[in-house]
A and B are shown apart, each in its own frame.
Chain A
């Protein structure tokens, strides 16, 4: 393990990400005050996706990891997306 390079992230980056997460959380609460009709869920999901992206990229160091780790995480998300799409083959065509 000792021969592996570690990437040191400045505190400033973490602080920015933290602020972004807090702002996005407030925005995701604020958006519930507007009637977006059928896009309500999509709105909430977009905020969740952006927040997850920030956490994975910076707090979980994905940005600085080896490519195969990124591929594995991407694969997991692909599975999640496929699972949701397949489930909606039922709901959209019922």
Chain B
């Protein structure tokens, strides 16, 4: 017992186990270290994705060739998409904050399968290297777009197989994480922690884990089929061999639309933690938020066809997918209503995470409402494959998941690193980033409505003004991003020591020291009957 107590006195950052230095991290099965491994890996990949995005916007600064030709532009948006989707937003909040916080939030010492958890990160790294190999070596960088659409994906002369295989491996990482979280939530909750007392972030991780487990294998198999088609010409998707390219689109979106909810549900969970804490008030409609989370997870699984309205689907399927797409808006709107109602008459403490959270609601609503334009069959035909779609997508995925990620990192930073960031610089970073975001993506709605197609390196003169504004926005956004990163990196090393509960939160992670001890708790906590995650 003596040695156990001694171990628990060391926090997870200082703990020296069997290995030292880098090996002490990459072979660690501690869920907190694995969370940080994901954070660092994803930060690197996100930075690469941002640079590629900036390059695209620079190309679009003026009509005609600016810095790259058409083929390079095709490769750039493909790589940008593959990195941002498969390596950043899909692992996203669950891989970083889920890993770090889930066991603490349910009063456990670790996840159910710590070694499997580490294996998930290793799969992630292997997938990243495979995809990067596809970019740097072989006959040419993939140019299909991140969707790998058939039949082009098995006809193009570019280096597709390693990219496809890399995405396949990344899928395994996601499946294993989902499985781990499901078992952990079912089996490892501390005594007294009923389902009705779980924090909302845990609930959203639960919904997400189900989607990861059920949807990811579909894309895995689909990518294998593309590889078989490419290698042996088996004729599943190739119309020349009796195959159906629209079948590829069905299979791809059966995963990739739920993947949007893999990205956004944990983001909503983080926002559902931040708003009550900074309003110092019980979350409004706890059960409604849980029900809407599960409803989004379920209905979101069945709306994939709205990506295919112009692909040649049957009219019956179009009606069905359009109707269900509109239905998904309802649980999303319930959440927004609950967040705003939580703030109503609360003791609002305006801090950086709260700024990020309310700007999340703002951009997410614009993204969501523009999604209804795309979900309507007639309007979809008009704006399909235009810059409007790019604007909507980035408002949802970057504005939703990205803003929530920054909200979450500013909220849980003192817990993770045991230090507080410079709040003034954090606020400056937020405002610059937000202005940059709005300037970058808002013109895309206008450009799309005016008819500017997406995925072209060139455009007509009439779209020049909007593109200049958008490119200018990308520079502002990058400036904001640099301010945020520099502030956080500097503060992780030299920031003021953070107290255990700087925001006066009520969930379990605020009851352990900052940074947490290796095994989180000296004794597994017990939740009393009248305790709850938002009892202010």
Contact = CB atoms under 8 A, between A and B. Distances in A.
Interface residues of B, number: 14
Contacts of B142: none
A87 B302 CA distance: 10
A89 B302 CA distance: 12
Contacts of B302: 82-83, 86
Contacts of B246: 90
B95 to A, nearest CB: 23
A90 B305 contact: yes
A94 B250 contact: no
Nearest to B246: A90
B314 A89 contact: yes
A87 B321 CA distance: 10
A54 B54 CA distance: 55
Contact of B317 (A76, A79, A83, A90): A90
B301 interface: yes
B314 A94 contact: yes
Given A82-B302, A83-B302, A90 B214 contact: no
Nearest to A87: B250
Q: Size class of A's contact patch? A: 10 to 19
Interface in B18-48: none
Given A79-B214, A79-B301, A86 B313 contact: no
Interface string B312-326: 111111001000000
A93 interface: yes
B79 interface: no
A87 B250 CA distance: 7
A92 B317 CA distance: 9
A19 B312 CA distance: 46
Interface in B228-268: 246, 250, 254
Interface of B: 214, 246, 250, 254, 301-302, 305, 312-317, 320
- The 9 A-B pairs of least Cβ separation, nearest first, read A93-B314, A93-B316, A90-B317, A94-B314, A89-B317, A90-B313, A90-B314, A89-B316, A87-B250
27 contacts: A79-B214, A82-B302, A83-B301, A83-B302, A86-B302, A86-B305, A86-B317, A86-B320, A87-B250, A89-B314, A89-B317, A89-B320, A90-B246, A90-B250, A90-B305, A90-B313, A90-B314, A90-B316, A90-B317, A91-B314, A92-B314, A93-B314, A93-B315, A93-B316, A93-B317, A94-B312, A94-B314
